[in-house]
Structure 1
Amino acid sequence: MALTATLYTLTIQLADMDRGVYADFELRVARQPSETAEYMLTRVLAYCLEYQDGIVLTEGVAAVDEPAVVVRDLTGRITAWIEIGAPDADRLHRGSKLAGRAALYTHRDATTVLAQYAGRKIHRAAEIPVYELGRAFIGSVAPKIERRARLAVSVTERELYLDLDGTQYTTTIIEHRAL
């Protein structure tokens, strides 16, 4: 018998002062059986940090032809291709060609992630930001997310502040461009 995804319902209050984006929304996240809690949290945070009209979460690790997070315009055209973790170079190449913008959010060591792309063909590689979220931060928050949770996500000067059901966490978002 096949395992099914676990549904998480997250009530999110977003205040991204860096971009001037403020929103309250409920996010339903289907965590696939092969998806780690760290991957899921990084996917949710990437959604918040990229939040705009037309943004959606895909099936995550189960999405074969789509990134973890995608932004589409009103015509359905992909305008942003957002990958999570350490996708292979072919996925980044494809996403960069399809979308006006591509980005990668990782909960892993960015130096190691970037090293796997050395010498690989990636369309507009120099324009793809790689955002590293603190491994200790992700590792401490991810196991504490319940299937129903309230998150307050604040970003100012690339510092991410997260309140998860009354407990506060913080990390610096480090941007790399060495693809």
Structure 2
Amino acid sequence: MGDKAILFNTHIDVANLDKHRYDSLHFTVALNHAETLEHLVMRVLAFSLVPDGIPHFTKHPNSTDTPDIYTESYEANYGFWINIGMPEIKQLKRASKSAEHVIIFMLKDRKWLEDNQLQLIGLSNLTIISLSREFISELSYSLDRSIHWSVVLDGKKLSVSDQHQFYSTEIDDFHSVEEEELLH
């Protein structure tokens, strides 16, 4: 009984002010038994911020062989390969060969970035988006089985409002590709 996923009905209004992209997304997402609420929140945010294409969740998030979220591509196996958390460098290199763009959403961890920066520089299609732990924790704490968020990306400022509160954070990012190609 404890292995059943918990489903969340999700409605997200997205505004990317820099790209003049406005969407209204409706989807159901599952919290898997081995997944934390923080990881789920990061997956939902990443899904809502996919720059181009139709995003898909993979069936087994946290797998080292598949992305958490992806878009399809005619040129490569994946258009966007999106993972949540700090992957192994070996996994990033494999993803970089399988996708046109690789985006990693992670909690801010300057030490991990500093320790791996030299190995990351050679991955020309990689973007790492770092979000504040407090921001993700606040969203996780207020999470309801029916998620209704308004998400606004304005430069490096990410804002989320639900029916009760407003949350905001600055995005730290590391780019190996041209910044204007992705989330800006």
1:176 CA displacement = 1.9
Gaps of 5+ in 1: none
Amino acid at match of 2:33: P
Aligned residue number for residue 173 of structure 2: 175
Deviation at 1:75, TM superposition (A): 8.3
Secondary structure (helix, strand or coil) at the match of 1:117 reads helix
Deviations 1:85-134 (A, max 9, x none): 11111221111000011111102x331332453675x6942541211111
Cα deviation, residue 172, structure 1 = 0.8
Instruction: Report whether the alignment pairs 1:31 with 2:31.
Output: yes
Taking a change above 3 Å as real, the CA distance of residues 71 and 116 of structure 1, as seen in their structure-2 partners, is farther
User: Are the aligned partners of 1:97 and 1:123 in contact in 2 as well (CA < 8 Å)?
Assistant: no
Secondary structure at the aligned position of 1:125 is classed as coil
How far 1:165 sits from its partner (Å)? 2.1
- Post-superposition Cα deviations, 1:16-49, rounded to whole Å, max 9, x if no partner, equal 1122211112121111111111111111111112
TM-score between the two structures when normalised by the length of structure 1: 0.86
Q: Is the 8 A contact 1:71 1:80 kept in 2?
A: yes
Structure 1 outlier segments of 4+, above 6 Å: none
Distance change >3 Å, CA 8–CA 126, structure 1 → 2: same
Partner of 2:70: 70
Cα 1:131–1:60 shift into 2, 3 Å: farther
Name the residue aligned to 2:109: 110
Contact 1:72 1:79 in 2 (8 A): yes
SS in 2 for 1:40: helix
Q: Is the 8 A contact 2:11 2:27 kept in 1?
A: yes
Question: Normalising by structure 2, what TM-score?
Answer: 0.84
The letter of the residue matching 1:110 is D
Q: Which residue of 1 aligns with 2:21?
A: 21
Residue identity opposite 1:23 in structure 2: D
Partner of 2:149: 151
| Residues 64 and 91, structure 2, Cα contact 8 Å, conserved in 1 | no
Structure 1: distance between partners of 2:19 and 2:73: 19
Relative to structure 1, the CA distance from residue 76 to residue 94 in structure 2 (aligned partners, 3 Å threshold; closer, same or farther) is: closer
